[in-house]
Structure 1
C-alpha cells in the first residue's frame, strides 16, 4: 500500500476512493479499521463514522486507522473531510488533524477542501459553494454541523492547538516549488484552489509530506507521485430490485427527492412518527415490497421541520431515530433479495453500511462527481452512497439505472 486515507464519513470515503481509482491506483474501501492486513492494493480508504462522534472517540478511531494504514506500508496519509469542511467549533476536524500530525511527526500540513467539479473552491482562505460563501450556501442550516463562517483560517484555528496559516492563489499558480517554498516549518496551512489544475499542483507540492487534509479533490495529484496513470474502474451490472433511502436534508437532496417522486412511489418518514412507533422498519419494508418499481423512502425535511424535531426530541435522539430506521430497513431488504440501494446523506450512509456489515467495498465507475457505484466485496449488492449536496437533480434514477448497466 502506498497511499492511505482516513475518511470521517462513508460517503466521503467513496468520494475520495473514486478520485484515486480514476487516477489509476487500485483501491479498497474499508468500513472501520480492518482486523486483517491488506497488501494487494495501492491505496486503502478507511471509512469512519467520526464526523459527529464525540471528539475523544473521533481521535481514537482516526489514530487507530492511521496506525493500520502505516502498518500496511502507506507512505502518505490523507485525512478526508467534507468539501464543506463540516465541523463545529469544538471539532472534530481540528482535534483529529492535530492528533494525526502528532502521531506522524508532521511539520506543515496542507489543508484544502476544494472540489471545483462540484462547485467547492477556496480563494483567499474562504470556502465557496458555487458563487456564494459557505455560510450562505445552505450549510448554515445543517442540523448537526452548521457552518456559519466561510473563513477556513478562523474555523480551523478555533479547533486546533497548532498555528494556522494560508497560501494564496497567486502562489499556487506559480507552481509546486512556490508552494513548497511558502510552507512553514510547522502547523496547518490553508491552500487556495479554484481549479482542478490547482489541486494537481498542490499534489505535486505535497510529495513526501506525511499528512494532508481535504476533500476528495486533494487526492487528484497524489497518485501520479507514485507512478499511477488514469484508468476506468471495472463494473459488473447488478439487476436485482432497487430502492432509494434518503436521510439527507440538504437543498440538493430535497430537489432530488422532489424530482424522483414525480415518477416513483415515495414514503416520507418523520422523527415524530418513528418515536411514536407509528412507523417501524417492518412497516416500511412491507410498503417497499409491494411496490412494482424502485421506490423512495425519505426523511429529507426542510430546515425548519428538522429544527422543530430536534427541539422536541433532542438532536441526538432525532438523528439516531432516522439512522436506525434506515439501517434496519436496508438490512431487511438485502435479506429479501434487493441488490441496488441508493443512500443519500453521510450519516445515513454510515448507518446503512454498518448495518449491512460491509467490511470492504469495491469501487466502480462514477455516477456523478464524487459519487461512485460500489459493491460489497464478495456479494452481489451494489450501493450508491451520496453526500447530501452531491449529484444532479435526476441522481436517484441515474444511480439505479447505472448500477443495472443501463
Structure 2
C-alpha cells in the first residue's frame, strides 16, 4: 500500500553520474528533489521529497542483477507514493545487445502493467540528438563518435530501434521527428498506429528542446517513461503546474572546508582533454592498471605521493588513457579485471584522502563515481549549483562534516571543467 506523501515522480538512474545529472535538471524547476545512493535500507519516512532519485550502479551489471536492483528501487519508490516512474540511462544509450536498458525497462513496465514504454535519450543542450531513430553526438553518428571505442559499452550502431530490439521481447517502433514537428494530432496519430500494431516499445526522436516539450505533452501521464535527463526535465511542468522556477534551492550551498582531490577513471574523449588541460597545472599522477596488477607497490607509491602534496594543491589522480592503451590493458588483464583495479584503487584513494582532510571530490566517470561515493559511505546527496549542463555540485554529511562531490559523466563539461568546478564552489 502506498504512503500518502508529497512524492509524485520517482526516478531510477543506472549510474551515479546519471543520477546527479537528472537530479540537477529536475531541480531547475524549483521542485524539491531528493537523491539517494542505492535503494534505501530504511523504510519510507517523512523526509521524502516531491521528486526522488535513486542512484544505482547497474549499467554494466549482469542483466538479472540490474533488473533486481531496479525492481527493488521501484518497490521503494512506489511504497513512498510515487505516481510515475522514470528509468534514466545515458544520453548515448550505453548498453550491449543483452542490456541493460531494455530488460530493466521491460521489467518495470511489467511491474506497473504499463502498455507502452517510451525511450528518449536525447539531450540537445549537450549535443545528443535523435533523428529518424539515429542517435548523434555533436552532429556525429553515435557509431562514428568516440563512443564506438567505449571500454565497457562500445557503441557500434546509431539506430536506436536496432540497438533496443534484441534487448526486449516486445515490438519496437519509432515516433519520428516528422510526427513530433507535426503537432499534437500527428503525435497522437503516430502513437495510436503503433499501439494498433501491438508495439510496446517506442523510441522517440528529439533534436531540440521543443521536441522534448512536444513529447512530454503527449505522454506525461504514462506510468513509466525512460530516457536521458533532458526528457525528464520536461515532466515537472505537468506534474507540478505553476511551481516551475519559483525558487532554486541549488543556490543555497554549504561552505565546505578542506582539501580538494580530482579523480578520473573515464576514458572518454572529453575527459581525456579535461585531464590534459588540468595536468598542465601540475600535481597529477597517472594510474597504470598493469602496474597495479603487479602488487601493492604501485598503490603504496601513489598514497605516498598524495600525502606529500600541499593541502591547497588540488591534485589529480587519473586512469584516463587513449583507446590503444585501454585495449592493451584489457588484453593483458581482461576488461573486467582492468576496470575493477582502477575502480577499487580510486575508491581506496578517496577513502584515504577523506581520512586525511580532503572534503571536496571531483570525479569523472560513472563507474568511478559509484565506487568513490560508496567508499565515502554516502547514502544521500543534496543537489547544489550546476558546474556544467547535467553536472552539479552535490553535498553530503559524514561523521558530522560536510563533503562536496562533483560527479561528472565522461563526456560532459568542457576542457576546463576541473578548474571551473573549484571556482563554482568558492
Given that 1:238 and 1:380 are in contact with CA atoms closer than 8 Å, whether structure 2 keeps it comes out as yes
User: Is 1:368 matched up with 2:368?
Assistant: no
Please state how far the C-alpha of 1:289 moved relative to its aligned partner.
Answer: 2.5
Q: Which residue of 1 aligns with 2:422?
A: 400
- CA distance 1:100–1:401, shift in 2 (3 Å): same
Q: 1:262 to 1:170 in 2, by over 3 A?
A: same
8 Å contact from structure 1 (residues 200, 220) kept in 2 = no
Change beyond 3 A, Cα 1:282–1:223: farther
Residue 242 (structure 1) aligned with residue 260 (structure 2): yes
Tell me, what secondary structure is at the counterpart of 2:336? helix
Render the CA deviation track for 1:188-224: whole Å, top value 9, x for unaligned: 1111101112112222222210111111111121011
- Listed as ranges, the matches of 1:248-397 within 5 Å are 248-277=266-295, 279-292=297-310, 293-377=313-397, 379-397=401-419
3-state SS in 2 of match to 1:158 = helix
Q: Residues of 2 paired with 1:326 and 1:316: CA distance?
A: 16
Asked if structure 2 preserves the Cα contact closer than 8 Å seen for 1:345 and 1:386, the reply is yes
**C-alpha separation in 2, matches of 1:20 and 1:279:** 44
Q: Is 1:104 the counterpart of 2:112 in the alignment?
A: yes
Cα displacement (A) at 1:279:
4.9
Q: Among residues 129, 132, 152, which one is paired with 1:124 in the alignment?
A: 132
Residues 292 and 299, structure 2, Cα contact 8 Å, conserved in 1 = no
Counterparts of 2:298 and 2:20 in 1: how far apart (Å)?
29
SS at match of 1:244: strand
Aligned with residue 224 of structure 2, among 207, 211, 216: 211
In 2, Cα distance between equivalents of 1:123 and 1:30: 34
Q: Any stretches of 5+ residues in structure 1 without a counterpart?
A: none
Structure 2 residue ranges without an equivalent (≥5): 1-6
Instruction: Output the TM-score relative to the length of structure 1.
Output: 0.97
Alignment of 1:100-249 (within 5 A): 100-183=108-191, 184-185=194-195, 186-227=199-240, 228-230=243-245, 231-232=247-248, 233=250, 234-249=252-267
Number of the residue aligned with 2:4: none
Q: Using structure 2 for the length normalisation, give the TM-score.
A: 0.92
Change (3 A) 1:237 1:178: farther
Q: Where do 4+ consecutive residues of structure 1 move more than 4 Å? A: 278-282
SS in structure 2 of the partner of residue 339 of structure 1: strand
- CA-atom RMSD in angstroms: 1.4
How far the C-alpha of 1:151 sits from its partner, in A, is 0.1
The answer to whether 1:80 aligns with 2:85 is: no
* Cα offsets for 1:296-320 (capped at 9, x unmatched): 1000011111111111111111010
CA displacement at 1:50 relative to structure 2: 0.3
Q: Do the aligned residues in 1 keep the contact of 2:15 with 2:370 (CA within 8 Å)?
A: yes
1:91 aligns to 2:109 (yes or no)? no
Residue 38 to residue 390, structure 1, CA distance change in 2 (3 Å) = farther
User: 1:111 touches 1:189 (CA, 8 Å); kept in 2?
Assistant: yes
**CA offset digits 1:212-248 (Å, max 9, x no partner):** 1111111121011122312431212323210100000
50-59 or 224-233, which deviates more: 224-233
User: Aligned pairs, how many?
Assistant: 404
Match among 7, 31, 39 for residue 33 of structure 1: 39
C-alpha change, 1:164 and 1:279, in structure 2 (3 Å) is farther
Describe the shift of the 1:347–1:402 C-alpha distance in structure 2 as closer, same or farther (beyond 3 A): same
Is the 8 Å Cα contact of residues 241 and 340 (structure 1) preserved in structure 2?
A: yes
Tell me, in whole angstroms, the C-alpha distance in 1 between the residues paired with 2:27 and 2:185: 27
